[in-house]
Structure 1
Amino acid sequence: MQEKAPPLRLEREVGLAGAVALIAGTMIGSGIFMSPQTVLVSAGSAGASLLVWGACGLLVALISLCYAELGTCVRASGGEYAYILRTCGPVPAFMLVLSSALLVRPAGVAGIALSFAQYALAPFYPECAPPTPLLKGVAAAAVLALATVNCMDVRVSMRVQVLFLVAKVAALAVIVVGGLALLATGRAHSFEGSFEGTNVGISPLGIAFYQGLWAYDGWNNLNYVTEELRRPEVNLPRALLIAVSLVTGLYLMVNVSYLSAMTPREMLSSGAVAVTWG
């Protein structure tokens, strides 16, 4: 009689450092370079925009705690798919995966890739926008390169993720340190009357929160690889809290740095706010 084959299991090769890198590295992306202008114009003032960034971080931290509980109770990879499959059945879970694979994920990846391409090409086209075919080509090349890396090996992709996280944090640290240096020289004109002109309507504040939360997107990605995480009951909540706290602090300080180097009007007129800051 033929023996029954053992069930397929994923190797638990993702530790705490890799988990933090996966969350923070996914969160820190084009959002912090593209969203500050929309958050500022929607909030109406520098002070209100900083409050929106902080409130978005707090909201994400509270939501991530709920996801940590889900991930430790249902230790299956797949994120929302695994939870909906367990609670609502296969049909809603299939519809979620179908809409995510065909619409949600491709649109998000395309937006991030185009933002990356815009910043990568900005130094070569200081006086005008880069050609659209070149912009799309660089974005497509970035998507293909990252897809290839993720298909190769879990350990390789984690190393690349950690490397990119270090590079991102280093770049943001340069902006933060530069902003603190400007503040030390007395460049705080953007914070005089910080809350003058604040929009208190539901619609503008809703748009500001929407753009801010888009910059925090990616905090739930660790739940998609729960089966590959070592000691998920310990490392999942720890990684979420560490990563969300790190990103929230960086986002607040980066926005302070932007406002210390530029007036709100200069920020709103910039095509690439970090390039203008430089």
Structure 2
Amino acid sequence: MKLVRYGDVGSERPGMMDGDTLRDLSGVIDDVTGDTLNDETLDRLRSIDPTTLPEVSGNPRLGACVGHFGKFLCIGLNYSDHAAETGAAIPEHPILFFKANSAVVGAFDDVVKPRGSTHTDWEVELGVVIGTEAKYVSKENALDYVAGYCVINDVSERHFQTQLTGQWTKGKSCDTFGPTGPYLVTRDEVSDPQNLAMSLDVNGKRMQTGNTATMIFTVAEIIEHLSGLMTLHPGDIITTGTPPGVGMGMKPPTYLNVGDVMELEIEGLGRQRQEVKMDA
């Protein structure tokens, strides 16, 4: 299934894609959140004939594909070729940082550069959404705890990230720096999360091309590691790192300007598009 949340900011309603047709799920579930991403509810949704659901007319905004989540956990430098382009060593363990929940927006919402930003960068990433509470799980069964997968643009302000004294969170958590969606694709439709092609263009020029096969730590290994540190709750989002081609790795480094358009895609999970604006 492809689950969505559609409507104005703060008033999103749950939906399901029926091919190219958006169907309303608000008569079945309240929202797409940790409360509704358990296996029992997902099985119930799969049993519904989508043609019996109301069709949503027009072209509504698609919000982030998961609402009211608890944690947004991010893994850094998880592709060896991306680590090399940034001059970083291959990590021995997954590098963890957090992105503020207030950074999360829809897949087609604007990305807004914060005041003073000169080094805003792009990162296409595979997002993983937890469906079952996970504590001390092994990599052998870790994927059973996943509700689904999505596209994430881990937008980053590199000066804030590296030069403002502190952790990476400063450069990762600016408002709008977490476009998520457009769909939450349930795990039964993703046969192998370690074999998904991914790409990102800026103004029509290909910047990133990669595949999740080149991750240093697999999705299962990441879940094993994180669940050994903290309980992962239904609805928690994990973003798993980016392939090479980010702006800071170019010679010379290249960053986003107002008016630039990012378009990104992961195989089977959909496309995103954001225009860059400047904060007032």
TM-score (norm 2): 0.23
Higher helix fraction: Structure 1 or Structure 2? Answer: 1
Higher strand fraction: Structure 1 or Structure 2? Answer: 2
Structure number with the bigger relative contact order (C-alpha 8 A, sep ≥ 6) is 1
For the pair shown, the structure with the greater C-alpha radius of gyration is 1
